[in-house]
Amino acid sequence: MSTAVPARESAAERPLAWPRGVVPTRLGPFSVRIEIGAVVVTVLALLAAVAVGAWSLTVGDDQFGTEQVLEVLRGTADDGTYRVIVEWRLSRIVLAIVAGGALAVSGALFQSITRNPLGSPDIIGFSSGAYTGALVIALFTTGTALQTSIGALVGGLLTGAFVYLLAYKGGASGMRIIVVGIGVSLFLSAANTWMLTTLSLDEAVTAASWSAGDLSNLGWGEAVPTFIGLAICLPVALWFATDMRMLEMGDDSGRGLGVRAETVRALMLVVGVVLVSIVTAAAGPIAFVALAAPQLAMRLARTPGVRILPSLAVGSLLLVTSDLISKTVIAPNELPVGVVTLVLGGAYLVWLLAGFSRKARS
């Protein structure tokens, strides 16, 4: 007695098997893979950032209650309350959310480029380069806000180009970028220290305070340009996000799928440098947000690699929370927000390296 064996389906006849937690969606001519975990983390982190920001509106030398914040929203508050909440505190909170998101997107791009969780602009020298550009402006010009912004942007871009060219050898591998970037970062840190000694006492104190990363005394004049920079760079990063994920499998695999590896890598390098430079120009070099946010978002969302939007949301939450801590931990005095992120980021880096050590032993 013979048993009928069903014919095996051909690959073309089988339905496409998507990974668990991934929903295929079609938007016009585009096919999009929506990762549920990434969407959930993005939404929850952004809501948490807004909630922390709302709480931060009530914290400071002048204590305000929920009712006074609502009066500002309704337009019935007095001029003094409006000035403190909207012009001083709200602008600072918006800057923290936007700057945290920009740093996190920059970190996600660099970690994807280098295929290494240590690939961060503050580790491989781009934050130091932007700070160097700003110090050069302070040393040789009157140092207006526009001049400082241009100096930070030019310094970051020149540092990025220098690191890329030194690391290029038939292609710029991730490990070479990291190693060269660390060396360049050390050199620039020494140059920055020397330039601080050549400034006048008042200028040196101001520059040293700014070098820690500080959001106090900043307003809409810094928040709006940072938002515009993020609004321009984010769509470019999202457009090339799929190409970046293909390159994470290796340049040969990416090229086999039609990705121009070096072109995409160089373009994303420029976008990442621009993002970190505009934040540095506004608030100084803020450490470790770019390093920690993409990795935390990846672990929370359980995605196979770093993702841009979850990283942005977690970065915003990290920086606005750090800013709240900086205002309250030694109240009525304040810490520079960069000191708080440095402490939190240092603890995260120790945890990350300990995880690498455990994996190496196992």
The pLDDT, as a whole number, for residue 128 is: 87
Whether 323 contacts 341, CB under 8 Å: no
Which residue, chain included where needed, has tokens 């690699």? 305
> Taking 70 as the threshold, does the pLDDT of residue 223 lie above it?
yes
> Encoding tokens for residue 221?
């004049």
User: What's the rounded mean pLDDT across residues 229-241?
Assistant: 93
User: With bands split at pLDDT 50, 70 and 90, how would you rate the model's confidence at 171?
Assistant: low
Whether 287 contacts 341, CB under 8 Å: yes
| CA distances to 30, 35, 109, 297, 348 from 38, in Å | 19, 5, 16, 8, 21
The pLDDT, as a whole number, for residue 52 is: 95
Identify which has the larger pLDDT, 95 or 115. 95
> What gap in Å lies between CA 53 and CA 17, rounded to an integer?
41
> Taking 90 as the threshold, does the pLDDT of residue 236 lie above it?
yes
Kindly report, residue by residue over 101-158, the tens digit of the pLDDT: 999 999 999 998 888 888 888 888 888 888 898 888 878 877 677 788 888 889 988 9
Kindly report, residue by residue over 17-74, the tens digit of the pLDDT: 434 566 666 666 666 677 888 999 999 999 999 999 999 988 877 777 778 877 887 7
User: What's the rounded mean pLDDT across residues 289-298?
Assistant: 92
The pLDDT, as a whole number, for residue 337 is: 92
Please tell me what DSSP assigns to residue 123.
Answer: T
User: What's the rounded mean pLDDT across residues 197-222?
Assistant: 81
Is the backbone of residue 22 left (phi > 0), alpha (psi -120 to 50) or beta? beta
| CA distances to 109, 276, 291, 321 from 39, in Å | 19, 24, 21, 21
The pLDDT, as a whole number, for residue 95 is: 95
The pLDDT, as a whole number, for residue 29 is: 63
CATH superfamily of 32-346: ABC transporter involved in vitamin B12 uptake, BtuC (1.10.3470.10)
> What gap in Å lies between CA 301 and CA 99, rounded to an integer?
22
The pLDDT, as a whole number, for residue 214 is: 86
Identify which has the larger pLDDT, 189 or 250. 189
The pLDDT, as a whole number, for residue 25 is: 66
> What gap in Å lies between CA 311 and CA 292, rounded to an integer?
9
The pLDDT, as a whole number, for residue 32 is: 66
Percentage of the residues of the chain whose pLDDT score is greater than 90: 27
The pLDDT, as a whole number, for residue 303 is: 87
- SS3 assignment, position 168: strand
Kindly report, residue by residue over 314-352, the tens digit of the pLDDT: 999 999 999 999 988 887 788 889 889 988 877 877 777
Identify which has the larger pLDDT, 107 or 305. 107
> What gap in Å lies between CA 346 and CA 354, rounded to an integer?
12
Residues 6+ apart with CB under 8 A from 16: 24
| Domain range list for the chain | 32-346
> Encoding tokens for residue 83?
């000035």
The pLDDT, as a whole number, for residue 28 is: 62
Q: What is the pTM of this model?
A: 0.86
> What gap in Å lies between CA 209 and CA 122, rounded to an integer?
17
> Taking 60 as the threshold, does the pLDDT of residue 11 lie above it?
no
The pLDDT, as a whole number, for residue 314 is: 95
> What gap in Å lies between CA 126 and CA 263, rounded to an integer?
19
The pLDDT, as a whole number, for residue 14 is: 39
User: What's the rounded mean pLDDT across residues 296-309?
Assistant: 90
Whether 293 contacts 100, CB under 8 Å: yes
> What gap in Å lies between CA 355 and CA 246, rounded to an integer?
26
H or E stretch at 33: strand 30-35
Rg (Cα) of the chain, in Å, rounded? 23
Q: Produce one character per residue of 161-176: b if its CB has 16 or more CB atoms within 10 Å, e if not.
A: ebbbebbeeeebbbeb
User: What's the rounded mean pLDDT across residues 247-252?
Assistant: 72
Is the backbone of residue 258 left (phi > 0), alpha (psi -120 to 50) or beta? left
The pLDDT, as a whole number, for residue 256 is: 74
The pLDDT, as a whole number, for residue 232 is: 95
- Mean pLDDT score of the chain, rounded to an integer? 82
Whether 294 contacts 311, CB under 8 Å: yes
> What gap in Å lies between CA 183 and CA 191, rounded to an integer?
13
> What gap in Å lies between CA 220 and CA 322, rounded to an integer?
20
Which residue, chain included where needed, has tokens 């909440």? 85
Whether 252 contacts 117, CB under 8 Å: no
User: What's the rounded mean pLDDT across residues 61-89?
Assistant: 79
